[in-house]
Structure formats: C-alpha cells, structure tokens
Amino acid sequence: MMMTATEYEASLRKLSLKVYMFGKRVKNVVDDPIIRPSMNAVAKTYEMAQLPEYEDIMTATSHISGKKINRFTHIHQSTEDLIKKAKMGRLLGSLTGCCFQRCVGVDSLNALSIVTWNIDQKYGTEYYKRFIKYLEYVQENDLTCDGAMTDPKGDRSLPPHKQADPDMFMRVKEVKDDGIIVCGAKAHQTGAVNSHEIIIMPTIAMQEADKDYAISFALPSDAEGITYIMGRQSCDTRKLEASELDRGNLFYGGHEALCVFDNVFVPWERVFMFREYDFAGQLVEKFASYHRQSYACKSGVGDVLIGAAQTAAEYNGAHKASHIKDKIIEMNHLNETLFCGAIACGCEGKKEASGTFCVDTLLANISKQNVTRLPYEIARLAQDIAGGLIVTLPSAEDFKSEETGKWIEKYFKGRSDVSIEDRFRILRLIENITLGTAAVGYLTESMHGAGSPQAQRVMIARLVDMAAKQKLAKGLCGIEKA
Ligand code: SF4
Ligand code: FE
C-alpha cells in the first residue's frame, strides 16, 4: 500500500529513535523545527506519488507483487525505469529546492538485488531469497530506507583490520545462532532520522583479512543500540526564529547524521552479506553507480536557483543587461549538462544476472564528476547576479523594526514596483541554496555524496578502454596498421 504524506508523517511518530542535537536528546523528532523541513522533503516523495499526473514518474509496478508501488521502492526492470528515476529526482529537487533524501534507499535496494544474487551463484547461499522477502516488506509498507555506506574510516592509509580502533568500519563483533552483533558507525547519513529502515553496506573493497567488515544488513531505524547525532548546517537555527523571512526556503531542507551502532543485534533474515569479502567492492560499485545517477536531483535544485537568480535580476532591473542574460544562459547550459549525464547513464543501462537493470557505470561516474563541479559554478553565477546583498542583508527583525525598517526599505529597494519584502525573500533563497542549510545539499553533498571526486576519477581511469583509443590513434597516423 502506498502511503500518503500524512500517513508517512504518522508512521514516523511511531518510531522511537534515539536522536541527539545541540547536546540534547530530541524527544519529538517529527515536530522539531530544525528537523521538520527535512521530513517535509521526504513527505514530498509520498505526496507526489498520489497525484495522477505524476503517476508515470513517481510510481512503478512491482516485479514481485505486480502492485503499484512508489518508485522509491522499485527494482528497475528496464532502461526506461532508470530514466524515470532520474526524471523523478529532478522533479523532486525542483519542488523542494533541497535534498529529499529518499534515493539512498532505492539505490541500496537495487544494488543489493544484484549483488545478493551474485553471491548466491558463487557460494550457494540464500541471500537473494532473504533480500526479496525484505524488499516485499519495504514495498508493501512503502518505507523510506536510509542507504548507509560511509564508514568513519579512521586512518585512511590503513585497511579496516589494521585500524587502531576496530570500529572505524562497521564490523561483526559476535556471531550467534540467531544472528550477529555489530559495532561501528555510518557517517553523513542523509535523511537518517526520517527513515523507517537503515540498510548497511560496506564502504570499500576488501581483502580476506577484512572479512569481518564485509557485511550488509538492514534494521529498523529505531533498533536497540542505534544512536543518531545530527549534523549542523550553516544558518540552521534560523529555523527557530519567529519570522520566516530569513529562512530562504520556508518549507524544505535536508539533514545528515552520524549513526552509531553500539553492539546492535541483527537477525539472520536481515543479513545480506556475511564475510563474502570478495563481493564488498561490487556492492560499493553498484550502489555508487546508482547513486551517482540519482544526482539528477541537483539539476532540480539548479532549476530553483536559476529561477531565483533571474528573479533577483528582474527585481533590481539588471535583467536586461547582456552579461546577465549570458550568465543565465550559462547557468542553464551547466544545469542541463548535469541532467544529460543522468539520463545518458540510464539510457545505456544493462540488465544484470539477477534481472535488475543497472546504469552504465562509466557514464554514471562521468555524470557525478560533473556534479562535483558544475553546481559550484552555477552557485557562483547566482551569487554574481544576486550581488553582495545576499551576505549583507540585515535581519528580518531589523526590517520589521520601527527604527531601522524605513532605512532598509529606502536603501535596499530595487525597482520601485517590487516590494522590498519580495526582494528579501528571493535573496534569502539564493543565500539558502548557495551558503545556508540547502548549500549542504546543493554544494558539499554534490562534492562528496555518492563518493568524493577522486572516487569517480579512479573509476573513470579503470573503465575507459585506453588500449582501444591508442589503437585508433596509432592506426590513423600509420604507427600501426588500422
Ligand atoms: Fe537523493 Fe540527491 Fe539527496 Fe542524494 S543528494 S539523497 S540523490 S536528493
Ligand atoms: Fe547524497
């Protein structure tokens, strides 16, 4: 059954998550003013799936139950599914202006649908069957899953088993008849406290000596022993202010958290990889490829930023200047380039042995490499167009004050037919996306999410057929016979 946004919110209220922020336990996670905008963003994935006009993009037919499901729980059955996932990401990015968090879940489900099958083929295990049972549960209940990959990693020059602290990578601490006890943490967890489930995957390829770290499993997000520590974001406490004017994005936001697993029990039916170290790298690669495509979301946020930059220019009368027009064209060019990559790696996707369709790995890496750069250039141009006021604008309180309001009104007026309040709002939105809470998602997450830039460069170096390229060159200039 697909949940409505209201049902989703109600379902979160039933969880008893252990969340900390600003040194205190957050008792009511759903209504916390700092966290709530991020919940609203995930709720959008439920809301949009209910609308008939978005049915094709937002929903799919389950290949196991044949029922209509939210696309965020779907296992891709065609390249068309992959393309629709990218379009869905752009749509939601444009409607929320931030990270809506739910993609990590669908990307980990798809990666596991491939790798559990492959492990079974080699070792005669039954992970795929377990996984499908879990998937049925996720689809049937329309759950949001946090796909958790990034370990803290400690000393980067050392493999997991050589770390001074053995918990720097998630590990099996004890094996029991009915399951395993795990210890470790996952960092930068997007949407963690808005999730019903957390799906753990290894973060790097591993050798035999690291086999206790080669694990994958899923747990309810409020399982005993899991603690969430919320990450800070620039301007986060503006959400606590009485006036909405300084918030920029009034409705939505993202969040990231550190998830600590302190001796957590995982029953066997929730374990999808157990010491098959030779498949850790494959799981990382599949998840990363899927998630690198998901960064189509940033072209949606880019749509908002471009719209904001154009509006800011119109509000101060600069929009007709040729250099402003050209900057807007450049922003659009860069933004659509991001989208092209996400669509292309879906078009070039292939069917894996399990039947799941996966994106083209090289193109997904190229696409994400662009995402590590182009939003910064788009943001730079938006700041160029917006002018210095995005960082020197006084607060909403000064604007409302009898003493100072009149001066702000007088001197920060742009075009006389545009209200100062509208100018305030649009500049704050640009600030929010390029410097404030949404900059986490639009900029730094673009840089590091789904792997930092170097991770993609390693993949690009590995995946391009250099010998074929050299053969072409040598053939054409006569070094070798063509
Ligand atoms: Fe989804 Fe984009 Fe957020 Fe990643 S950064 S979870 S792809 S919205
Ligand atoms: Fe991300």
Q: Counting atoms of ligand 1 from 1, which one is nearest the CA of 101?
A: 6
pTM of the predicted protein model: 0.97
Q: Could you say which ligand is closest to the alpha carbon of residue 450?
A: 2
Q: Please tell me if the CB atom of residue 375 comes closer than 6 angstroms to any atom of ligand 1.
A: no
Is 465 inside any structural domain?
yes
Q: Counting atoms of ligand 1 from 1, which one is nearest the CA of 254?
A: 3
pLDDT of residue 52: 98
Q: Please tell me if the CB atom of residue 101 comes closer than 6 angstroms to any atom of ligand 1.
A: yes
- Whether the pLDDT of residue 480 is over 80: the answer is yes
**200, 173: one domain:** yes
Confidence of residue 357 (pLDDT cuts 50, 70, 90): very high
- Supply the CATH number for residue 444's domain: 1.20.140.10
CB contact at 8 A, 24 and 163: no
Distance (angstroms) between ligand 2 centre and the Cα of 420 equals: 35
> What is the three-state SS of the chain?
CCCCHHHHHHHHHCCCCCEEECCEECCCCCCCCCCHHHHHHHHHHHHHHCCHHHHHHHEEECCCCCCEEEHHHCCCCCHHHHHHHHHHHHHHHHHHCCCCCCHHHHHHHHHHHHHHHHHHHHHCCCHHHHHHHHHHHHHHHCCCEEEECCCCCCCCCCCHHHCCCHHHCCEEEEECCCEEEEEEEEEEEECHHHCCEEEECCCCCCCHHHHHHCEEEEEECCCCCEEEEECCCCCHHHHHCCCCCCCCCCCCCCCEEEEEEEEEEEEHHHEEEECCHHHHHHHHHHHHHHHHHHCCHHHHHHHHHHHHHHHHHHHHCCCCCHHHHHHHHHHHHHHHHHHHHHHHHHHCCEECCCCCEECCHHHHHHHHHHHCCHHHHHHHHHHHHHCCHHHHCCCHHHHHCCCCHHHHHHHCCCCCCCCHHHHHHHHHHHHHHHCCHHHHHHHHHHHHCCCCHHHHHHHHHHHCCHHHHHHHHHHHCCCCCC
pLDDT of residue 360: 98
**454, 355: one domain:** yes
How many beta carbons lie within 10 A of that of residue 173, not counting itself? 16
**143, 118: one domain:** yes
- Asked which of 227, 252, 279 is the last residue of a domain, the reply is 279
Q: Please tell me if the CB atom of residue 167 comes closer than 6 angstroms to any atom of ligand 1.
A: no
Distance (angstroms) between ligand 2 centre and the Cα of 367 equals: 14
Q: Please tell me if the CB atom of residue 446 comes closer than 6 angstroms to any atom of ligand 1.
A: no
Q: Counting atoms of ligand 1 from 1, which one is nearest the CA of 298?
A: 2
Q: Could you say which ligand is closest to the alpha carbon of residue 293?
A: 1
**125, 213: one domain:** yes
Distance (angstroms) between ligand 2 centre and the Cα of 265 equals: 27
CB contact at 8 A, 396 and 424: yes
Confidence of residue 481 (pLDDT cuts 50, 70, 90): confident
Count, residues in the chain: 482
- Whether the pLDDT of residue 21 is over 90: the answer is yes
Q: Please tell me if the CB atom of residue 99 comes closer than 6 angstroms to any atom of ligand 1.
A: yes
Distance (angstroms) between ligand 1 centre and the Cα of 364 equals: 14
Share of the chain above pLDDT 70, in %: 100
Average pLDDT on 144-170 reads 98
pLDDT of residue 460: 97
Active-site residue list: 99, 103, 190, 256, 291, 295, 297, 445
- Asked which of 279, 303, 324 is the last residue of a domain, the reply is 279
**175, 215: one domain:** yes
- Supply the CATH number for residue 105's domain: 2.40.110.10
Distance (angstroms) between ligand 1 centre and the Cα of 368 equals: 12
- Whether the pLDDT of residue 102 is over 90: the answer is yes
- pLDDT per position as a tens digit, 113-142: 999 999 999 999 999 999 999 999 999 999
Q: Please tell me if the CB atom of residue 295 comes closer than 6 angstroms to any atom of ligand 1.
A: yes
Average pLDDT on 290-310 reads 98
Is 285 inside any structural domain?
no
Q: Please tell me if the CB atom of residue 438 comes closer than 6 angstroms to any atom of ligand 1.
A: no
Q: Please tell me if the CB atom of residue 235 comes closer than 6 angstroms to any atom of ligand 1.
A: no
Q: Could you say which ligand is closest to the alpha carbon of residue 448?
A: 2
**273, 296: one domain:** no
Average pLDDT on 413-437 reads 96
Question: Residue whose CA is closest, atom 5 of ligand 1?
Answer: 99
State how many domains the chain has. Answer: 2
Is 113 inside any structural domain?
yes
Q: Counting atoms of ligand 1 from 1, which one is nearest the CA of 103?
A: 1
Average pLDDT on 214-218 reads 98
pLDDT of residue 86: 98
Residues 6+ apart with CB under 8 A from 384: 327
- Whether the pLDDT of residue 215 is over 90: the answer is yes
* Residue among 217, 234, 235 at smallest CA distance from 226: 217
pLDDT of residue 157: 97
Query: What does the buried/exposed string (b/e) look like for 71-90 if buried means 16 or more CB atoms within 10 Å of the residue's CB?
Result: bbbbbbbebebbbbbbbbbb
Q: Which domain holds residue 46?
A: 5-279
Q: Could you say which ligand is closest to the alpha carbon of residue 451?
A: 2
